[in-house]
Chains A and B, each alone.
Chain A
Amino acid sequence: DARVTQTPRHKVTEMGQEVTMRCQPILGHNTVFWYRQTMMQGLELLAYFRNRAPLDDSGMPKDRFSAEMPDATLATLKIQPSEPRDSAVYFCASGLVVGQGRGYTFGSGTRLTVV
């Protein structure tokens, strides 16, 4: 089965450090999402891309978070500087246009701990 690959799987970092998370979407998928999951907030949409163009990043704290898709095989989410409240599991998901009746495939996530 095709997979969405996320790296790293786990990351522990100190407050103030830069964190970069990577996602390789499924080949041929034109939509990529970044979600953050915490016990308190559930699955929050941070940003998403269609055909590599950013469509909506309103869920992202702009002062410290940035999301990019430098090419069709790579999406990145960067946090600089990181804070303890950023500790969460970050998921990337990819898919085709929803109207075609298909859902999204999630990666295994990056578990981030900021100490």
Chain B
Amino acid sequence: QQPVQSPQAVILREGEDAVINCSSSKALYSVHWYRQKHGEAPVFLMILLKGGEQMRHEKISASFNEKKQQSSLYLTASQLSYSGTYFCGTEMMKTSYDKVIFGPGTSLSVIP
């Protein structure tokens, strides 16, 4: 039931773009995206709901393909501050409560 994330790790030069994918074998109601910097707590970036629109946080955007149970996070013109581990969290369709299960994370390193 844990979502799958790919890639596991990626290294970018400042200004390059990246895509992080999240997929589930179960029908999804929502997908969350969080970023965690080393030694800190995860920080909420955005949430995509079934039937909702693509979301955006600064130069980071995300989409949700309900038919494929997949979400993608797009990092455009990456900045050094984008470095960290990105987690997707999924909520299954539809339980009576909002239980968010996180994927294993994607480590992103942006270098000058």
**Interface set of A (CB-CB < 8 Å, partner B):** 31, 33, 35, 42-43, 45, 48, 50, 55-56, 91, 97-99, 101-109
Contacts and interface: CB of A to CB of B under 8 A. Distances in A.
Interface in B5-23: none
A39 B53 CA distance: 33
B26 interface: no
A114 B112 CA distance: 39
Nearest to A92: B41
A108 B99 CA distance: 21
Given A98-B47, A103-B32, A103-B44, A56 B105 contact: no
Given A99-B49, A103-B47, A109-B41, A42 B104 contact: yes
Nearest 7 A-B pairs (CB), nearest first?
Answer: A103-B44, A106-B41, A98-B98, A43-B102, A55-B97, A42-B104, A106-B42
* Interface SS, A side: strand
Contacts of A97: 98
Contact of A45 (B29, B34, B42, B99): B99
14 contacts: A43-B87, A45-B99, A45-B102, A50-B97, A50-B98, A55-B97, A56-B97, A91-B42, A97-B98, A98-B30, A101-B49, A103-B45, A106-B42, A108-B40
Contacts of A45: 99-102
A98 B96 CA distance: 11
Nearest to A43: B102
Interface in B51-87: 52, 87
B46 interface: yes
Contacts of B32: 98, 103-104
Given A42-B104, A98-B30, A99-B49, A48 B99 contact: yes
Given A42-B102, A50-B98, 20 more contacts: A42-B103, A42-B104, A43-B102, A45-B99, A45-B100, A45-B102, A48-B97, A50-B97, A55-B97, A55-B99, A56-B99, A91-B41, A99-B29, A103-B34, A103-B44, A103-B45, A104-B32, A105-B44, A106-B41, A107-B41
